[in-house]
Amino acid sequence: MSDTKILLKSGTNELEIVEFYLDESRAGGDYRGYYGINVAKVLEIIQLPELTEMPEAAHPSVLGAFNLRSEIIPLIDLAGWLHKSRAENEPPKVIVTEFNRTKSAFLVSGVTRIHRIGWQEVEAPTNYVSSLTVNSITGVVKIAGKITFILDMEKICADLNPDAP
């Protein structure tokens, strides 16, 4: 993994991911799963804001909406979307994203850091791995001895709002 302090330039064959985690409640004890999203899609990471319920939300993982600088942004429980039971060990974080000029936010357990990785370090998920995660994993990378799944948050947003452009 490259550790230079320069900004990414096109043609470097690198990407930066925001690594975050979901703490899951399981019968045998809690489990922490690590995930990543392309940093270019992240607008900001914030504390959990006050939510307003959304009547007739299209999916149970949509927790409601909040106002961020005069924009109403829906909040998606990422653990719920992935059919996991999130453990509440600490105050959660919210990752605000933008895809195709549409802003959405994802509730996660916490954020670790940004990693710069080479595309050659990203492995394609097997069909089996993809099917176990609602087909939302685009890549798998090993960082510091742990597996981090790179999620296709854009696909999650598209699945929640199929009529979006």
pLDDT tens per residue, the chain (165 residues)?
A: 444 444 445 556 888 999 999 999 887 778 999 999 999 999 999 999 999 998 877 788 899 999 999 999 999 999 998 888 889 889 999 999 998 888 999 999 999 999 999 888 998 888 777 666 666 788 899 988 899 999 888 888 888 776 665
List CB contacts of 155: < 8 A, sequence separation 6 or more: 135, 136
- Tens digit of each residue's pLDDT (9 = 90 or more) over 21-43: 999 988 777 899 999 999 999 99
> How far is it, in rounded angstroms, from Cα 14 to Cα 91?
32
Q: Which residue is listed with tokens 């097997």?
A: 126
DSSP strand E in the chain: where? 14-24, 31-38, 42-47, 62-68, 71-77, 93-99, 102-108, 110-118, 137-143, 146-151
- Tens digit of each residue's pLDDT (9 = 90 or more) over 84-108: 888 988 999 999 999 888 899 999 9
pLDDT recorded at residue 5: 43
Separation in Å, CA 135 to CA 72, 128, 165? 28, 9, 21
From the number of C-beta atoms within 10 Å of its C-beta (0-12, 13-18, 19+), residue 129 rates as middle
Tokens of 62: 């949509």
pTM for the structure as a whole? 0.85
Answer for the pair 137, 129: CB distance below 8 angstroms, yes or no: yes
The amino acid at 94: V
pLDDT recorded at residue 99: 86
